[in-house]
A and B are shown apart, each in its own frame.
Chain A
C-alpha cells in the first residue's frame, strides 16, 4: 500500500501567488482531512470530507483558502492569494470511517514557504 501521497513535497512561492496542494488518500478510505502545522499553533484541522463531501470547514482561516474533493482518490487545497503567514507544513490524512475509531493516516506533508 502506497499510503497517503502528497505533492509537491516542497513549495516556495512569492506573496500573492496561487498555491495548489494535492493529496491522494489511501484507496478505500472514505474520510479525508487537511491540516496545517506550525511551531506556534501546532497541528490544526482546516477542513475534512466524508465520502467526498465537505463536512466541516470551520478551520479554514479565511476566504483565501479553498478545498475540493472531486472524487474519492483526489483532493486539492488552494491558497489564493498566498501570504507569508501561510508558511507552514500542510498535511493530508485519510481514514476509514467506522464509529468509535477513526485512525488517521497522514501523508508526508507539503512544506510551503511564501516569501
Chain B
C-alpha cells in the first residue's frame, strides 16, 4: 500500500538558518505533490505545488524539490523566522491527476527559536 513518511520528530532551528523538511513515499507515482502549513487549532493552508516533471519550485523564502527517482521531496525555508514555526504537511496526488484526491503525511513540526 502507499506510504508517506515525514520526520515525526520536531525540527528545532535558530532564526535565520535554513530549515529543511523531508517527505518520502513508497509504492507510489504521484502526478504532483503539495506542501501545506498547519498552525495549532487551524486547518492546513496550501503553500506550494510541484509536478512530477518539475525538479524545483520557489516562492519567496520557500523552495520545494521533487525527486521521483528517490521518491522524495524536500521543503526548504530560508532565513527562517519564529513566525515560520508550525507543522508542515506534504500531500501526494492519488491515482491520476484527475481525481483530486490527496494523501497526507503525518507532518513535521518546525520550531524556529529567536
A88 sits at the interface (CB 8 A): no
**Is the Cβ of A104 less than 8 Å from the Cβ of B97?**
no
Given contacts A101-B49, A103-B34, A103-B49, contact A108 B42 (CB under 8 A): yes
Q: Is B64 positioned at the interface, with any CB of A under 8 Å from its CB?
A: no
Residues of B within 8 A of A31 (CB): 100
Whether the Cβ atoms of B97 and A107 lie closer than 8 Å is no
- Majority SS at the chain A contact face: strand
Interface size class of B (residues with CB under 8 A): 20 to 34
B25 at the interface (CB under 8 A from A): no
A13 on the interface (CB 8 Å rule)? no
The one of B42, B97, B102 that contacts A45, using a Cβ cutoff of 8 Å: B102
What is the CA–CA distance of A43 and B106 in the complex, to the nearest angstrom?
7
25 A–B contacts, CB within 8 A, in A order? A4-B43, A35-B104, A42-B105, A45-B101, A45-B104, A48-B100, A48-B101, A56-B99, A56-B101, A91-B43, A91-B44, A95-B100, A97-B100, A99-B97, A99-B98, A100-B31, A100-B97, A101-B49, A102-B93, A104-B46, A106-B45, A108-B41, A108-B42, A109-B42, A109-B43
- Residues A93 and B43 in contact in the complex (CB < 8 Å), given A45-B102, A48-B100, A50-B100: yes
Binding site for B on A (CB under 8 A): 4, 31, 33, 35, 42-45, 48, 50, 55-56, 91, 93, 95, 97, 99-109
Q: Which residue of A lies closest to B103 (CB)?
A: A45
Q: In the assembled complex, which residues on chain A have CB atoms less than 8 Å from the CB atom of B32?
A: 100-101
Q: Could you tell me the distance between the alpha carbons of A106 and B104 in the complex, rounded to whole angstroms?
A: 13
Enumerate chain A residues within 8 angstroms of B107, measured Cβ to Cβ: 42-43
A102 CA / B49 CA spacing, docked (Å): 9
Chain B residues, Cβ within 8 Å of A55: 99
Contacting residues, chain B, for A104 (C-beta < 8 A): 44, 46, 102
Q: Are A108 and B100 closer than 8 Å at their CB atoms?
A: no
Given contact pairs A101-B49, A105-B46, A106-B43, enumerate 18 new A-B contacts (beta carbons under 8 Å): A35-B104, A42-B105, A44-B104, A45-B101, A48-B100, A56-B101, A99-B97, A99-B98, A100-B31, A102-B100, A102-B102, A103-B49, A104-B102, A106-B44, A107-B43, A108-B42, A108-B43, A109-B41
